[in-house]
Amino acid sequence: MTSTRIYLSSPHMSGLEQQYVKDAFDTNWIAPLGPHVNAFEQEFAELVGAKHAAALSSGTAAIHLALILAGVGAGDEVLVSSLTFSASVNPIVYVGAKPVLIDSEPSSWNLDPGLVIETIERKVREGKLPKAVLPVHLYGQSADMDPILDVCQRYEIPVIEDAAEALGASYKGRSPGTLGKAGIYSFNGNKIITTSSGGMLVSDDADFIAHARKLATQARDTAPHYQHSEIGYNYRMSNVLAGIGRGQLQVLEDRVLARRRNCAFYQQTIGDLPGIGFMPEASWGRHTRWLTVITVDPEQFGATREDIRLALEAENIEARPVWKPMHLQPVFAGCEYVGNEIAEMLFRDGLCLPSGSNLSITDLDRVANVIRMSGCRLS
């Protein structure tokens, strides 16, 4: 293989990050906390329109703390999207609760509000109210939150939004992640902006975030000695990484526009192929196209999504199937599942294409050409 590898979604630094990191070194504010952490939290909260934010070591850590703070514990049930990354669901198990896996709806591929309402009402009749609902905003697009917030409000169920993939997206003019009790974001290496690793927890509730910061630093009580009255975690973000985050935050809008341009390019170059569809952009807001995701109808296209993935791999291009739904995962086999096989179908036919904001037109052309060719094999 001679051509350079094209990745699904690789880090894209702007140059601004180094200034902040240099400042952290110059002032010897390396870890654990420091001025960049405070500034990053403030700047982030302002950008998404949340009142408060806590910078953490990962998005997974943020979900874990949000569940603890929402009072989710052993034996409780949490409604969560089945079509997602395992990191949305694992923390439910960390706190001893049971995930109830809910299917997607076709217009955004996110949590189906109809199924959420139906399930909550059934649980109410059975006398066991879910302790939280955890919608995931997949691939850069918000779930249809209003009907979900509505039913959760009626039964006073806290909503914790997993917006790890949806920073920069909108839902009726607001940021997904700021619509429920708490929201989480991720700055993992492949996300739309990255701090190499890291996450953010946001809420409009000052006490919620203050308590999250305490739990994230080993739950130290205010005392000159080390005193603890609850179990803590080591989940805080370091000052160096927060510096990277501040630089990345300044170019977020550019990154969204670049990723949307990638998607538009693919739509123009392969959108006419029979059997190729694109993840829809729902009417309620902006899809960042963190990843461009296509669906492949093998009958019409003449090849499956796996054929395309392998053809791309043979040309040193990384593509990945859509998330394998959690109710099909061996580790969650025992979990309750409510659905209509939408997630199954999306997993079967869906493929995530290279989508980084640093891809060139030449890169995108290479991808499009391989896809075009894989559909016209003579068999």
Ligand X SMILES: *Cc1c(COP(=O)(O)O)cnc(C)c1O
- Min CB(156)–ligand X separation in Å: 25
3-state secondary structure the chain: CCCCCECCCCCCCCCHHHHHHHHHHHCCCCCCCCHHHHHHHHHHHHHHCCCEEEEECCHHHHHHHHHHHCCCCCCCEEEEECCCCHHHCHHHHHCCCEEEEECECCCCCCECHHHHHHHHHHHHHHCCCCCEEECECHHHCCCCHHHHHHHHHHCCCCEEEECCCCCCCCECCECCCCCCCEEEEECCCCCCCCCCCCEEEEECCHHHHHHHHHHHECCCCCCCCCCCCCCCCECECCHHHHHHHHHHHHCHHHHHHHHHHHHHHHHHHHCCCCCEEECCCCCCCCCCCCCEEEEECHHHHCCCHHHHHHHHHHCCECCEECCCCHHHCHHHCCCEEECCCHHHHHHHHEEEECCCCCCCHHHHHHHHHHHHHHHCCCC
84 counts as binding ligand X under rule CB under 6 A: yes
The interface with ligand X within residues 37-76 (CB under 6 A) comprises 58-60
Name which of 58 and 238 has its Cβ closer to ligand X.
58
Stretch of 85-93, 239-247, 292-300, 336-344 lying at the interface with ligand X (CB under 6 A): 85-93
- Min CB(374)–ligand X separation in Å: 27
Name which of 188 and 374 has its Cβ closer to ligand X.
188
- Min CB(66)–ligand X separation in Å: 12
The interface with ligand X within residues 149-178 (CB under 6 A) comprises 162, 164-165
194 counts as binding ligand X under rule CB under 6 A: no
Residue least distant from ligand X (Cβ):
59
- Min CB(279)–ligand X separation in Å: 15
- Min CB(24)–ligand X separation in Å: 21
The number of residues that bind ligand X (CB under 6 A) is 14
357 counts as binding ligand X under rule CB under 6 A: no
136 counts as binding ligand X under rule CB under 6 A: yes
Q: Which residues bind ligand X (CB under 6 A)?
A: 58-60, 84-85, 87-88, 136, 162, 164-165, 186, 188, 199
